A and B are shown apart, each in its own frame.
Chain A
């Protein structure tokens, strides 16, 4: 398995533009997580899915953020409109059933810069 695949690796966009981040989890993993990493706040959980269903989106900062998982092999995180404070590294991770009993497998992340 190629692991968790995220795209793009880097994204530079102007304030106000829409940004879409993509993630392909490991086949057979039931859980998918979106995290955001900044120096100030560390790793923050934004949202997670179980069997393609969003379970907890309480970490999504505001309505400008949305996430979908249309099928077991694909998820998107969208920011519309983007703001400079959204600049961060966004990670997708996946895990088998009973996620906390296993390690998460992380993607390489998308470094987002909003100018």
Chain B
């Protein structure tokens, strides 16, 4: 399988804490994207990081990419109950024009 793999599979934290999710992948990529999926809904694009970038920020989100380790992390700072969702990484492998999704991390933020 060419899927990325998220770690951990599930994460439970309190409001105000930071949440860190990791993604590992197998072959060279052009870019890596993170998505959020609320229960019963479609996926929503959060952020894209290119292979020549190491870090990117968007609001409370911080994404890092280490191409030497073939891994990425998503950090959500000062989490809120509304951040409760599943988070997926998606990769486009060099030579392919589609995204391959991991199985996601389920994040539960308790008030």
Q: How far is the CB of B98 from chain A (nearest CB, A)?
A: 6
- Which among A45, A103, A109 is the interface contact of B42 at CB below 8 angstroms? A109
Number of interface residues of B (CB under 8 A): 22
Q: Are A106 and B101 in contact (CB under 8 A)?
A: no
Q: Which of A35-68 contact B (CB under 8 A)?
A: 35, 42-43, 45, 48, 55-56
Q: How far is the CB of A62 from chain B (nearest CB, A)?
A: 19
- Which among A35, A101, A102, A108 is the interface contact of B41 at CB below 8 angstroms? A108
A57 to B31, CA, bound (A): 23
Q: Which residues of A lie under 8 Å from residue B103 when comparing CB positions?
A: 42
- Which among B31, B97, B99, B104 is the interface contact of A42 at CB below 8 angstroms? B104
Q: Are A4 and B98 in contact (CB under 8 A)?
A: no
Q: How far is the CB of B29 from chain A (nearest CB, A)?
A: 9
Known contacts A91-B43, A106-B43: does B102 contact A42 (CB below 8 Å)?
yes
Number of interface residues of A (CB under 8 A): 22
Nearest residue (CB) in A for B43 is A106
Known contacts A101-B31, A103-B33, A103-B48: does B98 contact A56 (CB below 8 Å)?
yes
Q: Which of A84-115 contact B (CB under 8 A)?
A: 91, 93, 99-109
Q: Which residues of B lie under 8 Å from residue A100 when comparing CB positions?
A: 30-31, 92, 96-99
Verify if B22 is at the interface (C-beta below 8 Å from A): no
A103 to B30, CA, bound (A): 13
Q: Which residues of A lie under 8 Å from residue B43 when comparing CB positions?
A: 43, 91, 93, 104, 106
Nearest residue (CB) in B for A42 is B103
B interface vs A, CB < 8 Å? 3, 30-31, 33, 35, 41-45, 48, 88, 92, 96-104
A interface vs B, CB < 8 Å? 4, 33, 35, 42-43, 45, 48, 55-56, 91, 93, 99-109
Subset of 14 A-B contacts with CB under 8 Å: A4-B42, A33-B98, A42-B102, A42-B104, A45-B98, A45-B100, A56-B98, A99-B98, A100-B31, A101-B30, A102-B48, A103-B48, A104-B35, A106-B42
